[in-house]
Amino acid sequence: MVKKISEVAFRDTPEQAARFEKVIAENKHDKSRLMAVMQEAQDIYGYLPSEIQIRIAEGMDVPAEKVYGVATFYAQFALSPKGKYAISVCLGTACYVKGSQQVLDKICETLGIEPGSCTADAKFSLDACRCVGACGLAPVMMINDEVYGRLSPDDVEGILAKYE
């Protein structure tokens, strides 16, 4: 799946910036540390904002396209932050045959975003996932730690409205 670049405006706290600059300073002389630096940056920011990819590129003296290529190749890197409410819809076999794709489509339509991305106000992020181990409740989705089971597309709007 092609990763979507977040439309959420990039913001960092002085504390995050300081931690990030320290990571760059410690690794800038060793280009082979690129992926490790990207991982640490993601730990700091929760994802890899484009602005941070550019700073990694400049700091490590590696072209930004290489950073972006790595970020889009490996599943571990996210280009979009998690929202205040992280929605995750199960597309595992059991959920899928019970219609979780339609539930996912309905969420996409309601929030106007695609899986792997986050609403511009950073409130909701949406991901598809594999089995969450609640097949008896299929189709299932989770919002943060809350599990919702036996869903139909018609339930979506009501559930989302609960999150303010």
2 vs 74: CA distance, rounded Å: 11
Residue 121 in the binding site for other proteins (CB under 8 A)? no
Sign of CA dihedral 14, 123, 109, 46: positive
Q: Return the number of the residue (54 or 147) whose C-beta is nearest other proteins.
A: 54
Burial track 44-64 (b if 16+ CB lie within 10 A, e otherwise): bbebbbeebbebbbebbebee
Closest approach, Cβ 42 to other proteins, in A, equals 16
Residue 51 in the binding site for other proteins (CB under 8 A)? yes
Size of residue set near other proteins by CB under 8 A: 20
Q: Return the number of the residue (73 or 150) whose C-beta is nearest other proteins.
A: 73
Binders of other proteins among residues 57 to 96 (CB under 8 A) are 57-58, 63-69, 72-74
Residue 8 in the binding site for other proteins (CB under 8 A)? no
Residue 1 in the binding site for other proteins (CB under 8 A)? yes
Residues that bind other proteins (CB under 8 A): 1-3, 5, 50-51, 53-54, 57-58, 63-69, 72-74
